[in-house]
Structure 1
Amino acid sequence: MTATTNRRVVLVSHPKGKPTAENFRIEDAPIPTPGDGELLLETLFLSLDPYMRTRMNGTATYAAALELGDVMVGGTVARVEQSNHPDWKEGDVVVAYSGWQSFAISDGSNLRRVDPDSAPVSTAVGVLGMPGFTAYAGLLEIGQPKAGETVVVAAASGAVGSVVGQIARIKGARAVGIAGGPEKCAFVKDELKFDAVVDHRAPDFAEQLAKACPDGIDVYFENVGGQVLEAVKPLLNNFARIPVCGLMSHYNDAGAGASIDLSLTLFKSLTVRGFLQNEFVERLEPTFLKEAAGWIKDGSLRYREDIVEGLDKAPEAFIGLLDGKNFGKLVVRVAE
């Protein structure tokens, strides 16, 4: 530990539309001291994810809203700096939920041990963490793709979408990705090996998507909404399944966002289910972690990280995330 203060990012105002730098304050506070049965964690990596935007509105959703002055929430990879807990020792690396700050106190619950020798520790909040498990659980538990079916996923170069399409292919389905711009589309097709990819920025996007899905869509993994959903709806097959894990294009809206009307759901016998990854937490260890690690080892599951240096850069990087500026899983390196 070389730091002498606890740098943290707090919410100082609720965004109206897109967040701006003025919604955040970067401040220094004393490094907290752990009490009996507690640990002092030093943050190594902070995960930046779209869901954080919904926590900034001042109203509760599936979780309590952030109050003004609160440290921004977020998953982290951290190192135990001091331990007064029998189950944890100094130097242990863990997944925690300590937020946008350099140090945090934990009572030892809700921590997951990380093996630094098995993979880069940053992957514990990426392909081997919440985003990867969101893809795994939503696709396999709700989407249930069968061999030969067509699975479509938006934001296909991102942390969740990239894993969805690759697992679909591992299970024998046909993966069609949607991404923004030639560079991301090339990555999805050439590096991730999706069967097809469509650029949502193309003026004839809907026509291109239809051409890429000649047999319709059996599973649509929803994480964006907006024009992508509108292009998907006419292509849905009877009995199509739609896991809904996010509506990123609507997080800055004041309205209700994207929707699938009930008549379409009825006439095509659709299954539409929203979910949070913690609903399936019993499959995290050892099932997901074991399978995903094996897929990474044999090359069938690839990943890309977009690493930003320094906690001070977190607000700017997060604002860019909501505009699709990141390329791969966005993480902030807070400490070495």
Structure 2
Amino acid sequence: MTIVSNKGVILRAIPKEIPNVDEHFELVHRTIDIENLELEENEVVLKNIYLSLDPYLRIIIINNPESVGKIVVGYGLSKVVKTNNPSYKVGDLVYASTVNIGWEEYSHFKSDAAFTLKHVDKELLKDTPLNYHAAAGSIGQLVGQIAKIKGLKVVGSTGSDEKVDFLLNELKFDAAFNYKKGDLDKELSKHCPNGIDIFFDNVGGETLDIVIDHCNSFARIVICGLISQYNITNPEKKYKYKNINKILLKQIRMEGFTVGQYKGTDIEEDCKRDLAEWVRAVKIIYKENVYVGIENAAKGFVDMLNGKNLGKAVVKLSD
């Protein structure tokens, strides 16, 4: 193997609001000589295949000023191309469980970090596209479909007419509306006339506040994301909740949810198995926005934060 390109994306500056591709990110041109690279004990070199573009990265960028000037990291899927670690062999497909994959064509994992790499389950790969294993997936589309499988009535709130059409006609949600065109309070009254029992939230802010007002007694609210607040760095501009007292009055249960709490548990294994089976049976439709090349990683990330993606946003780096 000769010297090959290892372009990567570094963070140029901490964005105060929505990131800008040219202002906050920079594509750096590097190379890597894999054949002559001397690996220390337990180290591995990965060729990155897919990168996952997720809203949580915005929080990491805000809270980690030391990341300026360094390669941006996230979830992804990679192939081992060189190894001095007995747990991995050349050709293994892996993903990082705690230490994240860099936005770069190749990643060199040091000895301690290498042990956080997880093998992609070969059984789960059967009859499912490789790119489906790059990340957990676009949360809203999956949660709604799982809820339908479990027999629930599902109402989707989204930001464009195209996405409404996708939710209704492809994912078969019971109802869906474009929150940017209508009054959220009226839309919820129309589509949830008997109130809301379960709300899975990725938005926060005013949306969460209005939903609380429509929740039934003993409703459950799952807080998985607060994307409406991620790009607001001034605390004075953060949304001030007005209906928070109704959580007490209605005895609503509101709880934060992150996938990390289930890593390494039986729940994680059950989830991966069920999702693979549902995808094979076409009970779950998985839609993606695929950006090709590391050159487009920052653009894909900013597009995702601006709601331009229809489905999961990923970057394809190699075959």
Amino acid at match of 1:25: E
Partner of 2:52: 47
Distance apart, 1:220 and its partner CA: 0.6
Distance apart, 1:104 and its partner CA: 1.0
* Distance in 1, Cα, partners of 2:154 & 2:2: 46
Distance apart, 1:118 and its partner CA: 4.0
% identical equivalent positions: 34
* Distance in 2, Cα, partners of 1:301 & 1:203: 28
Partner of 2:307: 324
The verdict on how the C-alpha distance between 1:260 and 1:48 changes in structure 2, with shifts beyond 3 A counting, is farther
* Distance in 2, Cα, partners of 1:260 & 1:77: 42
* Distance in 2, Cα, partners of 1:221 & 1:2: 49
Distance apart, 1:229 and its partner CA: 2.1
Partner of 1:253: 232
* Distance in 2, Cα, partners of 1:2 & 1:56: 34
- Unpaired runs of 5+ residues, structure 2, are none
Partner of 2:129: 120
Find out whether 1:268 has 2:269 as its counterpart. Answer: no
* Distance in 2, Cα, partners of 1:29 & 1:283: 41
2:108 to 105, 110, 116: 105
Distance apart, 1:36 and its partner CA: 1.9
Partner of 1:24: 25
Q: Is the 8 A contact 1:247 1:257 kept in 2?
A: no
| SS of residue paired to 1:79 | strand
Q: Is the 8 A contact 2:50 2:317 kept in 1?
A: yes
* Distance in 2, Cα, partners of 1:66 & 1:117: 41
Q: Which runs of 4+ in 1 moved over 6 A?
A: none
Distance apart, 1:178 and its partner CA: 0.8
Distance apart, 1:257 and its partner CA: 4.1
| SS of residue paired to 1:246 | coil
Q: Is the 8 A contact 2:209 2:244 kept in 1?
A: no
Q: Is the 8 A contact 1:56 1:66 kept in 2?
A: no
- Unpaired runs of 5+ residues, structure 1, are 132-158
The verdict on how the C-alpha distance between 1:227 and 1:327 changes in structure 2, with shifts beyond 3 A counting, is same
| SS of residue paired to 2:304 | helix
RMSD: 1.9
* Distance in 1, Cα, partners of 2:185 & 2:170: 24
The verdict on how the C-alpha distance between 1:284 and 1:99 changes in structure 2, with shifts beyond 3 A counting, is farther
Q: Which moved more, 1:215-224 or 1:98-107?
A: 98-107
The number of residue pairs the alignment matches comes to 301
Find out whether 1:170 has 2:144 as its counterpart. Answer: no
Q: TM-score, normalised by structure 1?
A: 0.84
Distance apart, 1:228 and its partner CA: 2.4
* Distance in 2, Cα, partners of 1:314 & 1:304: 18
